[in-house]
Structure formats: structure tokens, C-alpha cells
Structure 1
């Protein structure tokens, strides 16, 4: 494992729609992933508290395999994108899914909108990464979330809609990627527990590690 403190991360690029199970949950079809850039104040290390404002509810966790970039790329093809990854870590795509302050378009298929993911402390990331192996090593890794010790998400990277090189290539065609930028690759969705009244949440990905954060209401 190699250290990756949140303060050393450059851009935190997040991709939505990476798992077919999550798309089935929302009854959506994707030609390519959704993309947004996470603000610095949302990014925290493992062990730091996720702070949930009183005004939001139905707060969901999301365990995400996250690529750590090792070299500058822009408009990369799939092979170049894969070569540019130096390792993988875990992030938690915390999302307030309740009706606050109300959707910009209630009939739009995107249930929450990106803004509900960008609140301060809502993007914890493990402060270390595992060096990249062969691409096939990531074809069927267990992806789990436990809330207060209770199983909440159980999935696999076998459910991914796009390949890892496709997603990182796509991200690089939207924005330039540099060393220590990270690209979160989506989550299986379908959590059975919210974080609203939780004390802690643990995201785990087979062969990558565990990310645990306390949860606080503020």
C-alpha cells in the first residue's frame, strides 16, 4: 500500500452510471457516464467524520473503486488511459437523496442531481492505494458497504457497465488528468440502509481495502 493523503489529491473526478445494477435501480440507460468534479471541502480521509446537515435526509453510501492517476493525460484512448493509472483506492459517494430543496426537474430521470453529492465531507477516500495489477484482476471484485456493522450494499465489479479504461479515457476527454488526480468509477447502488441516524459506515472492496468513517449530524 502507498500513502495518498487527501491533501495530496489533485482533482477528484466522479463518474456516475458505472454499474448496471445502479442503472436498473433508476431505470436509466447510459451512452457514457455522468461526470462531475468534487470540491475540495467534500474530500476527507478515512477516520474523519461525515457531517450530515439537518436539512438533508435519505443519505446513501456508495462504495467506489477509484483509479489513482500516475501521469498527465488528455484525450487519451483506452490503452493510454489504462497505462496512466498507477493504482486503485476506495471512495464513498455519499448522496443526500431526500427532497431538498426539490429537484430542478421533477420528471428528469436523474433522481438526486449532482449537487446532492457535493456537500462538505461527502466524499471520503482511503488515504492509501494499491498499485495497479493486470486489468483482469478487477473483473470480479466484491464491493460492500456496512452501516453500523449491518450489510447495506453487496455487489461486484462484474456489474460494471463500462470497462475501467473506457471510463478513465472518457474522463480524460472531458478534463485534463494529472498525477494524483483520482477518478471514482461508480457503485453498485441499491443500499438497504441510510446514513441519517448512523454512527459509522465502512466501504470495502476485495483486494483494495476498507474505508471507515464516523457519521455525525450537524
Structure 2
């Protein structure tokens, strides 16, 4: 049986580039992950509705293993970072990838802005988390997404580009982390079904759980 996050979580920190499969999709190579902080209005719970504005298109889902922080953490090394995690949950990195919101420089070899991820309701998170197990437990967990019951994403945490302690340590060297902050660790990418016409999306991670949200156009 999992434990519940507080009704209001702390900071929602997101890391991009956490999976090699996602980097291969974009033909990118990272020395370290991208990092952004998700605004409160983007965060919704399981069962709440993802609202896609009419002005955006090619909306991608992303099932993300998400660490729940249990202790204050700043400028931590990898051991300190791992010890500060109290559990894991799932978040959905909903991303508009069409022409609007637009890339800051369409000719640039890398995407240099994250506004297309920060729209209201675009960061669902499962409010139940499971307590941390040994690090080896997370080395090869199945990660998937279904849209209206059809498989959109299939991957595994064995595809991660960085270890979990590396990513949490990295994040702590940029932002101060506190109890009940969450850190999303990336997704496998390569969705075969987008959310533009979907009515429901489910993100699943082996041994962690399932995150399901209705989807509507507005």
C-alpha cells in the first residue's frame, strides 16, 4: 500500500534528457539533464482533467519515474541525494510539440525553451507514492503510456542516461530541495499515439503504479 503526498506538494522539478531513447528520438546528446520548475497551475492529480488549448497541437504524453524528496537537500553528492529520497511516484510530462508554442529558434539544433510543457494541467502527478527500495530495484522497470487503451509508449528504466542519484544530485546543485518536493526523471519518448484526439491517458511504471487522467480540448 502506498503513501499519500500532501494535498499541496512542494516544488515540482522536472528533468529532461533522462532517457537515451528520448535523446535518440531528437538526435541529441546531453552532458547533463535540462531542468525546469513546473508552475503550480500545471500540476494536477490523478483523475483530474488535462485541458488542451485549441491553439496547440501534437501533444505528447510522457510517463516519468518521479522521486519524492524526504529531507532538505542542497549541493548534495550522489550518496546524499539517494539517501534524501523517501519514495517514488509517476508524473506525465504532457508536451505540446506543434508550431505553437513555438521553439525560441526554429533553426537551432536543440530546443531551447520549455514553455510548451508548462501550460495549465500539463503536469499530472500520481498522489500516491511507494517507499524507496534498493537502488538496483529501479534498474529495469517497465515504463508505458496508453491513450484510450492503445499503447503509445513502451520503454524501460534501463534506457536512462543518468543514474537516479546523479540526477537528484544535479538538481540539488541548482535548486534547494525540501521534503515533499518532487523531481521527475525523464521519459522514454517516441510516443506512437498523441493526445490531440484522446479522451484518456494512463502512465504506468512497474512496481510504482498507474496515473490516469481524462483529456479534453477547450
Q: Same fold (TM over 0.5)?
A: yes
Q: Is the 8 A contact 2:104 2:112 kept in 1?
A: no
With the length of structure 1 as denominator, give the TM-score of the two structures: 0.98
Mark the runs of 5 or more structure 1 residues left unpaired by the alignment. Answer: none
Identify the residue that residue 195 of structure 2 maps to in structure 1.
195
SS of structure 1 residue aligned to 2:65: strand
Identify the residue that residue 140 of structure 1 maps to in structure 2.
140
SS of structure 1 residue aligned to 2:167: helix
Once the two structures are superposed, what CA deviation does each residue of 1:137-164 show, in whole Å capped at 9, x if it has no partner?
0000000000000000000000000000
Residues 1:97 and 2:111 are matched in the alignment: no
SS of structure 2 residue aligned to 1:8: coil
Any residues of structure 2 matched to 1:8-87 within 5 Å, and which? 8-87=8-87
Structure 1 residue 16: Cα displacement: 0.1
Identify the residue that residue 213 of structure 1 maps to in structure 2.
213
SS of structure 2 residue aligned to 1:215: strand
CA RMSD, Structure 1 to Structure 2 (Å): 0.9
Identify the residue that residue 3 of structure 2 maps to in structure 1.
2
SS of structure 1 residue aligned to 2:170: helix
Identify the residue that residue 168 of structure 1 maps to in structure 2.
168
Structure 1 residue 110: Cα displacement: 3.1
Aligned partners of 1:102 and 1:16: how far apart in 2? Answer: 18
Structure 1 residue 4: Cα displacement: 1.2
Aligned partners of 2:29 and 2:212: how far apart in 1? Answer: 31
SS of structure 2 residue aligned to 1:83: helix
Runs of 4+ in 1 over 6 A off after TM superposition: none
Aligned partners of 1:109 and 1:129: how far apart in 2? Answer: 37
Aligned length: 217
With the length of structure 2 as denominator, give the TM-score of the two structures: 0.98
